[in-house]
Amino acid sequence: MAAVQKPAIPPHIIASDYRKIGPPLRPEAEGLRVDGFLAKEFPFYGRTLWKKACAAGHLLINGTPCRASHRLRGGDQIAIYRPAEGEPEVDDRVEELACSGGILALYKPGNLPMHEGGPFRRNTFAAVVAERFGAQWHPVHRLDRETSGVVICAATPELRHKLCLAFETRRVHKRYLAICQGRTDWDSITVDQPLLLDPQSERPRYHVRPEGAKSRTAFTVLERSREATLIEAVPLSGRTNQIRVHLDWCRHPLVGDKLYHLNPEVYPAYHRFGDTPAVRALAGFSRHALHATSISLQHPESGREFSVESVLPEDLTRLWFRLIAAHGSGEVT
């Protein structure tokens, strides 16, 4: 039987064309296949595309090409082929909210991706944080590119590991503010619906499906206009796109959400043309109207409560006042 050829770096590629994906791996990645790990942690590619990246020599583990079946180890550094190209403009106004004992809470603007992916290499939250606050700081959780709000970072691998466990075991309390389409007929609701990634979608898109992962979100109405509602959302599980999909299931998706919009023309346009000005105009806003407004947790080393808040940013505040002015005065619940 012929030996399986090990992937190699293509001769036309130089080392500077590879970019790191996140910080070195945590111990819990030990023994996982690289393709499965990346498909879960970085869903901008599906598992099939990660396999193709490995076979093409476009994925490195500690500087060496690997097969899709490669088993990871704690401390591994993954890098992906990302040649230089023009990047979309982003909002990079990252601001410090609080800092204590190796934990840094930062405000992430909307329209800023967390990590490298697609056309983004340098215009990312991780790159901005390293440049302005120091290379030791790494985020311990994620927000969608268009979601603004609080992001928690840690200064050491040990503290990052402890904080990641706190997030995974639901010992972190998070609140979001959302502006959704339509006027809800309920004041509060808890959505308990499982979520499943649509395997046919090139852009990661989730749906409520019985065979999906368990997922719960509590929603409370804060104010209504005639055709939109300002809501507080509390995720009771930690699934990708959870708030967005559960609001879509309620038939009240986020204003500006190009993946889960009530207008059936929005998603096909986004799928075909991407995040263009014309698609944003069709969606009704420049980004989806979701803001991570607060995070509370127990400091894993001092035991003290670490709590931070971020008020609704200017763009979403203007949006809400515009919706009230266009559709009548708001009704506070």
Q: In this predicted model, what pLDDT tens digit does every residue of 9-35 receive, in sequence order?
A: 777 677 778 888 878 888 888 999 999
Q: What is the mean pLDDT of residues 154-171?
A: 93
The two beta strands, 148-154 and 290-298, are parallel
Domains in the chain with CATH codes? 17-67 (no CATH), 95-332 (3.30.2350.10)
Per-residue confidence (pLDDT) for residue 4, from 0 to 100: 54
For the chain, percent of residues with pLDDT exceeding 70: 91
Assess whether pLDDT exceeds 70 at residue 329: no
Q: What is the pLDDT of residue 1?
A: 45
pLDDT reading at 44 higher than 80: no
List phi, psi (to 5°) of 154: -135, 155
| 195 touches 217 (CB < 8 A) | no
Among 250, 211, 213, 215, smallest CA distance to 231 is for 250
Residue 40 burial (CB count, 10 A): 12
The rounded Cα 178 to chain-centroid distance in angstroms is: 15
Residue 116 half-sphere exposure toward CB, CA atoms < 13 A: 19
Question: For the residues 46-53, what does the mean pLDDT come to?
Answer: 85
Q: Tell me the average pLDDT across 127-150.
A: 93
Q: Quick one: which of 12, 138, 5 has its CA closest to 81?
A: 12
Tokens of residue 273, six digits: 């043309």
- Residue 325, pLDDT score: 85
